[in-house]
Amino acid sequence: MATAEVAVVSPSSLNTDTTPVPESAGTAAATAATSSATTAAAAVAAVARTGSEATVSKLTMATKLLSLSGVFAVHKPKGPTSAELLNRLKEKLLAEAGMPSPEWTKRKKQPLKIGHGGTLDSAAGGVLVVGIGRGTKMLTSLLTGSKRYIAIGELGKATDTLDSTGKVTEEKPYGPFL
């Protein structure tokens, strides 16, 4: 449950100057102090109203976010891992709802349940199937379907890591196609 903080300002809580003033100036100073207190109280009340409206708006947004459920596709570019991409997505969704990103905790205590079906290597780009809310339970059934891969490679070269990110250790000519 979200709570809103409200500050109450009264004339006695304001810091006032205690410099002695002539009688006529004292009346003006008292009026100014009361007027300042009233203005300050009105300003705080306005901020409190705006703050509570913002809190309600954030609460509504958080409720909508936590009620999201389903499966969708995300294009994963080369570079980040599937887990990194998922963490970024989760952080952005939580930030959009005005919720802080939680530290790692047990899965059941996470405010937003999100997962991916299958893992793409960081050197690979492609479609990453993402589940959110109850959609995470559907991910395993999606993995049983057939997959299609497109490979782009360079023939005649070997690397120390056996992939495109490594340093070339050996080159051999590759003949012309017939």
Condensed to tens digits (0 to 9), the pLDDT of residues 142-170 reads 888 787 888 888 888 999 998 888 999 99
Mean pLDDT of 31-53: 40
Which residue would you say has higher pLDDT here, 136 or 24? 136
**The pLDDT value given to residue 38:** 39
Same domain, 74 and 98: yes
What H or E segment, with its residue span, contains residue 87?
A: helix 82-96
* Residue 56 belongs to some domain of the structure: yes
Tokens 């995470």 belong to which residue?
A: 136
Which residue would you say has higher pLDDT here, 22 or 125? 125
Model pLDDT for residues 73-84, shown as the tens digit of each residue: 999 998 999 999
Diameter of the chain by CA atoms? 110
* Residue 150 belongs to some domain of the structure: no
Residue 121 annotated among the catalytic residues of the structure: yes
Which residue would you say has higher pLDDT here, 62 or 78? 78
Same domain, 96 and 46: no
pLDDT at 17 over 80: no
* Residue 6 belongs to some domain of the structure: no
Q: Which of 17, 121, 160, 163 is catalytic?
A: 121
CATH number of domain containing 133: 3.30.70
* Residue 9 belongs to some domain of the structure: no
What lies within 8 Å, CB to CB, of 54 at 6+ separation is none
How many Cα atoms are found within 13 Å in the side-chain-facing hemisphere of 40?
15
Same domain, 84 and 160: yes
Same domain, 38 and 120: no
Same domain, 115 and 161: yes
Same domain, 82 and 141: yes
* Residue 177 belongs to some domain of the structure: no
* Residue 8 belongs to some domain of the structure: no
Same domain, 161 and 105: yes
* Residue 104 belongs to some domain of the structure: yes
Same domain, 134 and 116: yes
| Residue 139: strand pairing partners | none
| Domain coverage including residue 80 | 70-145+155-167
pLDDT at 172 over 80: yes
Model pLDDT for residues 86-136, shown as the tens digit of each residue: 999 988 888 877 776 666 555 556 677 889 988 888 888 889 999 998 899
Same domain, 77 and 161: yes
Relative to beta strand 168-171, strand 126-132 is: unpaired
Angstrom CA distances, 112 to 3, 90, 95, 177, stand at 20, 7, 12, 53
How many separate domains does the chain show? 2
